[in-house]
Amino acid sequence: MCNGNPYLPYTATIVETWYETGGERPVKTFKVTLDDAAARESWSHRPGQCAMVGLLGVGESMFCISCSPTEGDFLRFSVMRAGKVTSALHQLEAGDKITVRGPYGNSFPLEEWEGKRILTVGGGIGQAPLRPIVEFVRANRDKYAGLTVIYGARSCGDLCFKGELEALAKEGDIECHLSVDVGEEGWPHYVGFVPSLLMEVNPSPENTIAVTCGPPIMIRFVLENLKKLGFADEQIYTTLENRMKCGLGKCGRCNAGHLYVCKDGPVFSYAVLKDVPEAFA
């Protein structure tokens, strides 16, 4: 928060950018640092939190912070080109300035999960909020019983963090299962939808926490399948991405029923969400 005004953002400089995916709606990752030394000092975020990223003259949009604080003193955003702000962001390169305010929302209760196996189930750009969990658990590997990553996208070219995940798969210590909806020449992994891959992998619910994020339709089927596999509601978490403008519980638009996703969320356990009628609308 600048000058005690929560609407006033910090300025930040892009240090590196790269494309995660191509196609009609490419995803570009931005690695940024806050310009002000005091701001860098006071900033702290946790996996699952998000931030409002803006471009002066264009506007602001909410993104999850797609890196874990264990990775270093920078922020990462992985941005899919969707409309006005995201298209303008995609024009930017290293050295360009953006605005950042946050971090907003609650976070994954990673301390509570210590001693357990963590299973992430992601689809498309939905891997962005899950990536910090993967990185956090890797950095604290001895505190967790294991890590399984299930991730899929429409096609090979739509997979975010692909190189990184393939390297993880080779590491062996971490289970990583990738999929694409439509098969293509040379694709060595699963072909089909993420919820089916989940059934194929058939993870045991024993001492496991499952976290899922992706398109609403995928989330719905993943939840159904997790229940089939025997996961209890309390073992399942998801993060919601309702449209947001303030991140501060004021602008009113992010609500799912009585919950303000920007403040009460974006991370929720299914035990809470299953009774919120609008949560999976």
Partner 1 sequence: MGAISALLLTKEKWPEFLGKISGKQLFAPKRQGDRVYLAPLKEGELPDFDFQNTLVPPKALVFPQTETLYRYRLGETEMKEPAIEGEAVLLGVRPCDGRAMQLVERLFCWDVDDPYYLKRRALVTVVGLACSEPGLNCFCSSVGGGPASTEGLDLLMTDLGESFLLEPLTDKGRALLAEAGELLAEAPPEAVAQKEQIAAEAAARIKRSVDTAGIPEGLPRLWNDPLWQRHAAACLGCGTCTYLCPTCHCFDIQDEAEGTEARRLRVWDSCMFEEYTRHASGHNPRPTRRERTRNRISHKYSYYVQKFGIIACVGCGRCVNLCPVNIDLVEILRQVKEAL
- State which amino acid sits at residue 65: I
Residue 125 lies near ligand FAD (rule: CB under 6 A): yes
Binding of ligand FAD by 50 (CB under 6 A) = yes
Contacts of 215 (CB under 8 A, 6+ apart): 123, 124, 126
Is 51 an interacting residue with respect to ligand FAD (CB under 6 A)? no
Between residues 167 and 251, which has the closer beta carbon with respect to ligand FAD?
A: 251
Torsion of CA 109, 53, 90, 179, to 10 degrees: 10
- Kindly tell me which residue out of 32, 79, 147, 194 binds ligand FAD, with binding defined by CB under 6 A: 79
Helix, coil or strand: residue 12? strand
Q: Are 204 and 192 in contact (CB under 8 A)?
A: no
Question: Least CB distance from residue 88 to ligand FAD, whole Å?
Answer: 8
Taking the complex as a whole, the smallest distance from the CB of residue 266 to ligand FAD amounts, in Å, to 5
Site for ligand FAD in 239-268 (CB under 6 A): 241-242, 244, 266
Contact partner, 128, from ligand FES, ligand FAD, partner 1, none, Cβ < 5-8 Å per class:
ligand FAD
SS3 146: strand
98 binds ligand FAD (CB under 6 A): no
Burial class, 156, CB count within 10 angstroms (exposed 0-12 / middle 13-18 / buried 19+) = middle
Residue 216's binding partner out of ligand FAD, ligand FES, partner 1, none, with CB under 5 to 8 Å set by partner kind: partner 1
